[in-house]
Structures are given as C-alpha cells and as structure tokens.
Chain A
Amino acid sequence: MTLASGDLGSLGMAVMNQPHRPSEAFAPHLRVRGLTIRRGERLLFEDLAFEVRAGGVLLVRGPNGVGKSTLLMALAGIVRPDAGTIEGVERTRLHLLNYRSGLKPRLTVAENLKFWRAMHGATGLDEDAALEVVGIDGLGGLEAGYLSSGQLRRLALARLLVSKRPVWLLDEPSAALDAEGEALLGRLIDAHRASGGIAIVATHHDLMLADAAGVETLMLGGGA
C-alpha cells in the first residue's frame, strides 16, 4: 500500500492486483448530470443528477412505468439519453441483470455460465465455484430448461460472479427469488461493495444488506 502512493505507482498497482482484482483499477465512481430521457412524446425524467462512489449502493424506486428500467438501460449504454452526461461506467466494466437473463434452455447450466465467462472475461470465480455460491452446485450438467424460475435467477446471479466487474446494474433482482434467495442476493451485493464495487438497484423490495451506510435512494416520478 505504501508503494502505491509513491513514485512506483504502477508497480504498486501490480502488487495490489495480485489477489482477486482484475488488471484495471477497481475504483468506480459513477457521475450522472442533467440526464433527460424521453420515450416518444413522454418525458420520463429531466435533469436527473446523482453520484455513486466505490462501495455505494443506489436504490432506484418509484411506481411502475416511471422509467426505472429505462434509467438502467441508459446507464448500461443501451438507451441513448436525450440530454445529460453519464461518466464512470464503461460498456465492458458493468453487469446488467434484468428479467431477460440471456440463458439458453438447451445449453447446460455450466455451458451457459462458461459462455458468459468467455464473453465477459474470466476475471472472477470459475463456473463451479460460482454455482456453489448461488446454491445450485450439482446442477451444472443439467440443461437450463429444467430449472425453475428461481433457480434460473440464481444462475443469472452466478453470471455476475464469473466475471468481476465494478458496476452492477440490477433491475428487480429479487424477482422469482424466495426468502433464502433474497438473503443470498443481499450477501452478494455486500461482498461486491466490500471489494469496492457499486450497485444500482431498481426494486420494489427492500434489499437484505448487512450495512445501510452508503445506501442511497433515488425516487423517480411524483413520489420525490
């Protein structure tokens, strides 16, 4: 750590990166300013501004149809905003999790995970370890089409673990999860924060997080 602050900064980074971290610096800082998004004639939100630092969680709340998913899609670079800037989140340094989980029923659980690990970078856990963390180890050889929707959601969560990325954009992540699954989700987000990651979560449920510090809420729509 002392090396990192000295002149040999790059060497220090290399030493720090040894245990689990990816080669790039893992200190996300998300800044959104003046964000305006329209859907056709309808204005979803205007001049939205927020900031999330490393280890922070932002809960996005609001009634249905207010634009929570669209906001996440904008942060993910899929939807282009009409005005405003989004800084600190790159295409290859984020995970998006929504109801369309990108899993193929005809591939086995392990094959699905292996594929996304190859596409998003083998920077995290290996497939077996990730399946164990989300509690569906032993199902690796099974075609994903056999899984229940709760198990599929756990598999989708495992996808976040096989590639380590600093920004998690989670859209209703607890959908289809039972109480045990929600606790698991809380633990995963806790671990992600502890390693310096940030999470932006659009949800109607309360997250089961260990530590409420650093958790902020963004109300969209009339409720603010």
Chain B
Amino acid sequence: MSGFGALIGRDLKLAFRAGGEALTLVLFFVMVAVIVPFAIGPDRPQLSRLAPGIVWIAAFLSMLLGLDRLFRADDEDGSLTLLRHSSLPLEAVVAAKVIAHWLVTALPLLVATPVLALLLSMSWEQWGRTVLALVIGTPGLVSFGALGAAVTVGLRRGGLIAPVLILPLAIPVMIFGVGMLDPLAGSGATLFLIALSLVVTAFSPFAAALALRAAGE
C-alpha cells in the first residue's frame, strides 16, 4: 500500500514542479471558455443558456490534451518496466497513476470553474450542478483516457491518436454530464453518469494494464 501512495506522491510532485503541466491545462481550460463568446457573441442570456455545454467541451478538450503524458514519460525513461517489478500488480500501478492524473488534470479544472461561471454568466445553481456533473464524470473521462494512453504508449507519435481514439468512446460521459442539467431528464442522467463512471473506472486499470503489457514486448 505504501508503494501505491509513493507512486501518487511522485506523480503529483512531478506535475507541480517546474516543467509540470498541471497549470498549463487549467490555462487551456479557461481559454477555451474565453474564446466561445468571441464565436457566438457576448449576449448574456444566450451565454448563460450554453454555459454548461461550454464548460463540458472545455473540460473534455483539456483532459484529452493532457492524456499523452499519462504513461509516455514513464515509458520513455524505463520507469514503467521497473514498476512492473514492484510489489504492486501492474493494475494497481495503473490505478495509482490514474488517480494521480485525475488529481493533476481534473481537480484543478474543478477549482477553476468559478472563473468560467463568472465569464459565462452562469447562475450559482447552474454552476453547482455543473461542478457536480464534472465531479461524477471526470473519473470516467480520465479512465477512458488511461486506456487510450496505454494503447498508444508504444507509438512514437501517439500524441494525436489517443484523443481521436478516445473522444468517440467518451461521448456518453458528455451526454449524461450535460444531461444532468436538464430539469426533466436530470435525475436519470445523474444515475447513468454515476453508473458509467464507476464501471469505466473499475475496468480501465485492467484493460490499460493489458495494453501496457502488450506494448512492453
């Protein structure tokens, strides 16, 4: 168990030290939300109506952007091979890395959402529901992402392939996530999103570990 914590701790340290990318992702997240009004106009009621969708798109794109780093750095410097000789099974190694990745890429986005709420004239109630939807949905997103990152880890130019691969798979997360804000279908969407996120989070470490083993050969 101490290895599990040590792995999470190391990944957090690397992400927030100089050269880490955690803060850059937040910046990207805010930027996506900033450019939308330029495209559709600054009309407040309209922005407010579209805001949850915009936040989800911004979150989606920033999470996909950060995906490539999940296993690549550890693969290139050999850490991934050595981690396979640790007392943790590879599935647990993947799970620890996914948790760290969520803490580094998703949590800062959640912290930044009030800024987006202000910019996009969201009501506080709207903001609260969007954050709740993101809290439930982002573990699912990260888990789909882990799968994509594991599958493309052996490719020299996998950076673009993983997002293209994962985006269609993760569409249900977006559908239910935005659906949670629908006053009529909201509660149903919430349950679907919880179920989806749980199942994906539970299964992806096994699938990703399988892919990493295959990539190691």
Complex: A in contact with B (CB within 8 Å): yes
- Given known contacts A101-B77, A115-B10, A119-B3, A91 and B84 CB-to-CB distance under 8 angstroms: yes
Which residue, of B17, B78, B85, has the highest number of chain A Cβ atoms within 10 A?
B85
B132: Cβ under 8 A from any A Cβ: no
Stretch from A9-17, A73-81, A188-196 contacting the other chain: A73-81
Chain A interface category by residue count: 20 to 34
Which B residues are in CB contact (< 8 Å) with A214?
none
Q: Label chain B's interface by main secondary structure.
A: helix
Which A residues are in CB contact (< 8 Å) with B17?
106
Which A residues are in CB contact (< 8 Å) with B7?
115, 119
Convert A96-109 into 0s and 1s, putting 1 for each residue whose CB lies closer than 8 angstroms to a CB of B.
10111111101100
B14: Cβ under 8 A from any A Cβ: yes
User: Using a CB-CB cutoff of 8 Å, which residues 1-30 of chain B contact chain A?
Assistant: 2-3, 5-7, 10, 13-14, 17-20
A153: Cβ under 8 A from any B Cβ: no
Q: Please, which residue of chain B has its CB at the minimum distance from the CB of A165?
A: B85
- Whether the pair A106, B81 counts as a contact (CB closer than 8 A) is no
B41: Cβ under 8 A from any A Cβ: no
User: Using a CB-CB cutoff of 8 Å, which residues 70-124 of chain B contact chain A?
Assistant: 74, 76-79, 81-88
- Whether the pair A116, B217 counts as a contact (CB closer than 8 A) is no
- Whether the pair A78, B6 counts as a contact (CB closer than 8 A) is no
- Whether the pair A104, B77 counts as a contact (CB closer than 8 A) is yes
A214 to B17, CA, bound (A): 47
Chain B interface category by residue count: 20 to 34
A111 to B82, CA, bound (A): 16
- Given known contacts A96-B85, A98-B78, A78 and B217 CB-to-CB distance under 8 angstroms: yes
- Whether the pair A103, B13 counts as a contact (CB closer than 8 A) is no
A92: Cβ under 8 A from any B Cβ: yes
- Whether the pair B217, A119 counts as a contact (CB closer than 8 A) is no
A11 to B82, CA, bound (A): 33
Which B residues are in CB contact (< 8 Å) with A141?
none
User: Using a CB-CB cutoff of 8 Å, which residues 201-217 of chain B contact chain A?
Assistant: 216-217
The 8 Å CB contact of A118, one of B6, B13, B20, B217, is B6
Having A119-B6, A119-B82, one finds 13 other A-B pairs with CB under 8 Å, namely A77-B84, A96-B82, A102-B78, A102-B81, A104-B77, A106-B17, A106-B19, A111-B13, A115-B6, A118-B3, A119-B83, A119-B86, A120-B85
Task: Please report A residues at the B interface, Cβ cutoff 8 Å.
Answer: 76-80, 91-92, 94-96, 98-104, 106-107, 111, 114-116, 118-121
Closest 4 CB pairs of A and B: A100-B78, A118-B6, A119-B86, A102-B79
